[in-house]
Structure 1
Amino acid sequence: METKTNKNIILTIGGVILVVVIGLLIYFANQPAKNDTSTKTSTTESSKTSSSSVAGQGTGIDGSQTTQEKLDKSNLPQLTSTVSTDEAEVQLQTSLGNIDIKLFPKLAPHAVQNFLALAKEGYYKNNEFFRVINDFMIQTGDPSNKGTGSKVVSAVNGGKSFDTEISNELYNIRGAVALANTGAASSSSSQFFIVQNSQDMTSQLNNYLRPTKIADAYKKGGYPSLDGSYTVFGQVVSGMDIVDKIASAKVTTNSSGEASSPVDPVKIIAVKIVKDWKF
């Protein structure tokens, strides 16, 4: 698997399309190729690398200046399967098996509040994992199963899509659960993905400072190039075997030319709230 370039998780913005050709162009623009090498990404990474060049000092994924010592003292809730008192827990019941996920309401409040509210109203029922890329991620959270739909409840940001919530305590390690977005500001909503890659990705650790334990975790998989761009709001604590099975499904090429549309999509039957959180 190529690891020298970044991949993006893209949430396609749906709407009323009057001209088919224009609609297709918009779709293609929001669904980059598997190996995205845009000038913007390269320039950004170059500047971040130089900002971290002073030994022990640099930029955290939240954009703040920090030190290695400070990061190494951070709470890293993804590294334990225990659900603590300040975390919530859900079970994704899929047509292939169950995936248990703990959520981080204090670190990603908008994301968790919206997810739990939508789960309670049955929004995710029958949602397919409509985009699956083995050794990368699986994506769902759109009832249309096309990647064009999304929802935010009124209690969260007035029902409008919201900004990414980035924390130096949460990363896109294997099993991370994060919100998709369009790449634009304030475009997070209901679509989410689970990072599935199990290959050593330490070669991507070339921009931000990260806790030493997180750098070690990336030896077991994940996707570091996503750090700082997507809201991580949960972590799989049981059921990664199910995630791997979903990711390894036979796929066909979608309308944007990406081989990510499953031939026999796995569905979310229900989202069971094991441990709720009051906002």
Structure 2
Amino acid sequence: MDNPTVVLKTNKGDIEIELFIDKMPITAGNFLKLAKEGFYNETKFHRVIDNFMVQGGDPNSKGEDTSAYGTGGPGYAIADEFVEGLSNARGTISMANSGPNSGGSQFFINLVDNTFLDFDKEPLQSKHPVFGKVVAGMEAVDAIAKVETGERDIPIESVIIREIIVKE
């Protein structure tokens, strides 16, 4: 079976991502399920740090109350899943979390090689499972990285995921 791809349709351009279902069935499968349900539609990239990463996937980012940005999820957490050889390199997508087995819907796309986030680095408390990679549209990711941000790295001008198209 070929890995599925998804297209994030944003107001900064389209981002096509291959999901590593073959290596990361729990994490990639969860993202795929949420994408199919429309969970990510109209959410924002709520945390943008140039030369590091862009983060999205929080349902609380649909509203205008930025104090709640970064705190939402799908109402459950998934088990951490790590595979040797998958590194937080530029263009990879990883599960955001606040500690072991706390991932849900929030994700980030690495703008540079952030290998210090990999599961085999110590004494990192929070490790971030890589579950896919950008295969087209990295220029859109780079455009998101350049937006002006304010408090808590929240973009001044909203960067919105209009919808995610699943290509299986």
The verdict on a shared fold, with TM-score over 0.5 as the criterion, is yes
Matches within 5 A, 1:52-63: none
* Cα distance in structure 2, aligned partners of 1:149 and 1:264: 20
Superposed structure 1 runs of 4+ greater than 6 Å apart: none
Equivalent position of 1:130 in the other structure: 46
| Aligned-pair CA distance for 1:121 | 1.2
* Cα distance in structure 1, aligned partners of 2:79 and 2:161: 26
Equivalent position of 2:91 in the other structure: 175
User: RCO (CA 8 Å, sep 6+): is it higher in 1 or 2?
Assistant: 2
Selected match of 1:190 from 105, 109, 116: 105
After superposition, give the CA deviation of every residue in 1:79-128 in whole Å (9 maximum; x if it has no partner): xxxxxx43111111101110010011121111111111111111100110
| Residue 250, structure 1, aligned to residue 148, structure 2 | yes
Runs of 5+ in structure 1 lacking a partner?
1-84, 153-159, 198-221, 255-259
Selected match of 1:148 from 61, 71, 75: 71
* Cα distance in structure 1, aligned partners of 2:41 and 2:80: 25
| Residue 263, structure 1, aligned to residue 161, structure 2 | no
CA RMSD after TM alignment: 1.1
After superposition, give the CA deviation of every residue in 1:227-270 in whole Å (9 maximum; x if it has no partner): 1111110000111110011011101123xxxxx11100210011
Equivalent position of 2:115 in the other structure: 224
| Residue 166, structure 1, aligned to residue 64, structure 2 | no
Corresponding pairs, count:
154
What code does the residue aligned with 1:227 have?
A: D
Equivalent position of 1:120 in the other structure: 36
SS at match of 1:132: strand
* Cα distance in structure 1, aligned partners of 2:136 and 2:70: 26
Matches within 5 A, 1:51-130: 85-130=1-46
Structure with greater helix percent = 1
Aligned identity (percent) is 40
What code does the residue aligned with 1:235 have?
A: K
SS at match of 2:141: helix
Runs of 5+ in structure 2 lacking a partner?
62-68, 120-126
What code does the residue aligned with 1:108 have?
A: M
Structure with greater strand percent = 2
